[in-house]
Amino acid sequence: MKYHTLSLYLSVVLAGLTMTAGAQTAASVSPSVPVDSITETITYTGVVHEQGTKNDFYNRAVAWINKTYPNPSAVTTVRDPLSGKIEGGHRFKIYTDVEDGTKMEWGTILYSFKLEFKEGRYKYTFDHFLLNAPSKFPLERWLDKKDPAYNSTCDAKLVKVNDAMTELIDGLKEAMKPPKVRKEEDW
């Protein structure tokens, strides 16, 4: 009976270690980028409940775009305060660190975005990610390990894309918060 209990215990421990090792391998192999379950494309989206009106959000978003992008009028294709919608597209470069401490450009990533506003909430969507190459290259191909274009650097490139998009979205969320009201001093 003791042998059976010990054997069962060791089996559970080994199974747990195997699952943990498998999870670590999967985490290191598959970068965590959000993939839309319907379109099966990389899509960063969210609805944020915040204090403000549709017009407040629209104005805050325009201010964020003007601050974030070097040429804000070229970035947006739709700016409609009546419907509460801003659409556009932009690009950013991803780099890798070289052994001598310098950075080497990996490529330029193109993406589209849509910002929508309603009373008390706004929605952001960043999607249509492409590698700017002679032929536009959807980044979802970097997720498919069977794709002929897949290589060992694809996961690291997706991590760089995820880092850039997370930073961009964090900046948007911060800019969309209501301005802090300055209290008058009672002196």
**Structural domains of the chain, with CATH:** 33-175 (3.30.530.80)
Which of 20-29, 40-49, 108-117 shows the lowest mean pLDDT across its residues?
20-29
Structure tokens, 75: 């970035």
Within 8 A by CB and 6+ apart from 45, the residues are 34, 36, 123, 124, 125, 126, 127
**Reported confidence tier of residue 82, pLDDT bands at 50, 70, 90:** very high
Q: Are 78 and 61 in contact (CB under 8 A)?
A: no
Q: pTM score > 0.75 for this model?
A: yes
- Residues 62 and 78: beta-carbon distance below 8 Å: no
Q: pLDDT grade, residue 97 (50/70/90)?
A: confident
H or E element in which residue 125 lies: strand 121-131
Residues in Cβ contact with 6 at an 8 Å cutoff, skipping those fewer than 6 apart: none
Residue 26 in this model has a pLDDT that exceeds 80: no
Chain Cα centroid distance, residue 156 = 14
| C-alpha pair distances (Å), 80 with each of 67, 118, 119, 182 | 19, 13, 15, 30
Strand pairing category for 121-131 and 103-118? antiparallel
Query: What pLDDT, on the 0 to 100 scale, is given for residue 51?
Result: 94
Residue 181 pLDDT level (bands cut at 50, 70, 90): confident
DSSP state of 42: B
Rounded CA separation 39/46 (Å): 16
- Paired tokens of 57: 């959000």
> Do 127 and 40 touch, CB atoms closer than 8 A?
no
pLDDT at 161: 95
Using the 8-state DSSP alphabet, how is residue 70 labeled?
S
